[in-house]
Structure 1
Amino acid sequence: MSAAQKPELRILLCAPRGFCAGVVRAIDAVERALEIYGPPVYVRHEIVHNKYVVEGLKAKGAIFVEELHEVPAGATAPVIFSAHGVARSVPEDAARRNFFAIDATCPLVTKVHREAVVHHKKGRDVVLIGHAGHPEVIGTMGQLPAGAVALVETAEQARAFTPRDPSNLAFTTQTTLSVDDTAEIVAILRARFPSMVAPHKEDICYATTNRQEAVKRVAPQVEAMIVVGAPNSSNSQRLREVAEREGCRVAVLVQRAEDIDWNVFGAISSLGITAGASAPEVLVEEIIDAFAERFTVAVESVYTAHEDVFFPLPRQLRPDAAE
């Protein structure tokens, strides 16, 4: 199709989008471990929820396992815990097996872990707002003894929740939730349990909040929205839901350009694009290129925040520790 025949398409790029500081730190941790110790490096669970990133690290010598028993007994290679965090039993198991463990948990997830532990030590029952089965939720609940954390996923569950001691509660949240959904759940719980202790600082992380705000700005201005991300990425799924809630009639999650359904996107004149916190910018560029083959595209960035957050590598991987 010649340029003259191509329909025009206005693309609004959400900013911020893509990698957050915790994801950068986790990926860098695997790459740095490969540099220092050579392959293989074992990683428990996907280091971040993005197939492209995981496949790239596999090609460099990372071996991904779901549980530590999959790591060969007596292995001296590093074993890295993913950005999502792990239950307390996991590093304990690694120590029993004499593994060289490196914790790449996002510091903002670690903050939630510490909050839960402090509340428990003070005798409070902990309510965790999050999604059952997500690695981050499994890790946070696994910081405390079984039964010490009550998981609340929805507003309906918040209305029905019956604590052991209504006067002695605290809540924490998964870091990658919908800001609006979580606010509704918290409002219900606080109305029912006025003395419930809140986090000192919002648990939903800065990157989740910023990416959702950008989508809120862009979604009402476009006919369709693409969220670049993986189906098992919580923050990416929330971005898609936010776009729908803000009135965008077509909002889809796409991993790669090859996943685009051109029957859905073939006749639009405006498109929003964002990316989940574990999706690399190269995939955003790949998708823009795919549209540029079919449309005459004009790309604009819509900024709602500036991010300059940086987290240092785990201690064992810093230059002074490797010397």
Structure 2
Amino acid sequence: MTKPPLTLYLAAPRGFCAGVDRAIKIVEMALEKWGAPVYVRHEIVHNKYVVDDLRAKGAVFVEELDDCPTDRPVIFSAHGVPKAVPAEAARREMIYVDATCPLVSKVHVEAERHHEAGLQIIMIGHDGHPETIGTMGQLPEGAVLLVETAEDVANLNVRDESELAYVTQTTLSVDDTAGIVAALKTRFPDIRGPHKEDICYATTNRQEAVKAMAAQADAMLVVGAPNSSNSRRLVEVGARAGCTYAQLVQRANDIDWRALEGMRSLGLTAGASAPEVLVNEVIDALQTRYDVTIQQVETAVENVEFKVPRVLRVPA
């Protein structure tokens, strides 16, 4: 039987960013250096396939430092941790490696500098997300106010309207964040922002690629985990940019084929914590059902690389 034709628009860039690459490498190098088990506080990145792969190699994923023995190394996830966590690890004389993405660490440093300058910090982020918890946890309790939407800005109760600064989670929707920043600047004209955009290059680039292909595609698939902020934002960005149907899938077997019936074109991308092997799995699944023509939609070229911590680069 003849397969129906399908034009597959493949976003570039997509998938792993430099911070995720580095975090995974940190766990693998720690296992090489110290042997198994190596403990990891929280999912190193938000992707089940990656976590399961590292678990098979000897990583043990835990929720809190209390779940780790003191005689084994512990790694802190790419999302960052409150200051109290490494302080407690040091107090217990544990070997620990911080896999916080350097772009998240940059936001931590910004927040601290503003705080030291006497400014009250407003963080734009998602309540309960590990990155938000980690950033707010760089400063004393109550020093950072959280806003999730432009509507939240109206309800802020600040100490001094002329002594404010804002920082943002790195994985937000660029457009949503612009709206919240505009609301902050309207209400607080003197508020100070970051020297350079907090939303990371990878989040921005992946959203731009989605926008470029959304209007051409009947539907869009985003490979990523439900707890991955940047992956969920890609689904939202695709829908807003004119793609009538956008779906988040962890694996090829999650695809809702009935929802894709009758389509002639499909956009495909992956969140920053989703490996390329899962993208290829989706392409293979599409090729079993369709006569696929692949067109790459490239909007940026990435060549960012972050070094792993020095402790992993010196012999044990």
Report the TM range for the smaller structure's normalisation.
over 0.9
Residue in 2 that maps onto 1:291: 286
Structure 2 distance, partners of 1:301, 1:32, is 33
Structure 2 distance, partners of 1:253, 1:261, is 10
Structure 1 distance, partners of 2:249, 2:195, is 36
Q: Any idea what SS the aligned residue of 1:306 has?
A: coil
Corresponding position: 1:17 with 2:10: no
Corresponding position: 1:50 with 2:47: yes
Measure how far apart 1:135 and its partner are. Answer: 0.1
Match of 1:115 among 107, 110, 115: 110
Residue in 2 that maps onto 1:64: 61
- Please tell me the root mean square deviation across aligned C-alpha atoms, in Å: 0.8
Residue in 1 that maps onto 2:315: 322
Residue in 2 that maps onto 1:230: 225
Match of 1:276 among 267, 271, 288: 271
Query: 4+ runs of 1 displaced by more than 4 Å?
Result: none
Match of 1:252 among 244, 247, 261: 247
* Partner amino acid, structure 2, of 1:43: V
Residue in 2 that maps onto 1:310: 305
Residue in 1 that maps onto 2:172: 177
Corresponding position: 1:33 with 2:26: no
Structure 2 distance, partners of 1:12, 1:314, is 37
Count of aligned positions: 316
Measure how far apart 1:194 and its partner are. Answer: 1.1
Corresponding position: 1:6 with 2:3: yes
Corresponding position: 1:87 with 2:92: no
Corresponding position: 1:106 with 2:75: no
With the length of structure 1 as denominator, give the TM-score of the two structures.
0.97
Measure how far apart 1:56 and its partner are. Answer: 0.2
Structure 2 distance, partners of 1:32, 1:141, is 29
Measure how far apart 1:266 and its partner are. Answer: 2.8
Residue in 1 that maps onto 2:256: 261
Q: Any idea what SS the aligned residue of 1:244 has?
A: helix
Once the two structures are superposed, residues 56-98 of structure 1 have per-residue CA deviations (whole angstroms, 9 ceiling, x without a partner) of 00000000001011112x32x2100000000001001111222
Structure 2 distance, partners of 1:14, 1:294, is 21
Structure 2 distance, partners of 1:6, 1:61, is 43
- Give the gaps of 5 or more residues in structure 2: none
* Partner amino acid, structure 1, of 2:223: V
* Partner amino acid, structure 1, of 2:315: A
Once the two structures are superposed, residues 272-293 of structure 1 have per-residue CA deviations (whole angstroms, 9 ceiling, x without a partner) of 0000000000000000100100
* Partner amino acid, structure 1, of 2:23: A
* Partner amino acid, structure 1, of 2:49: Y
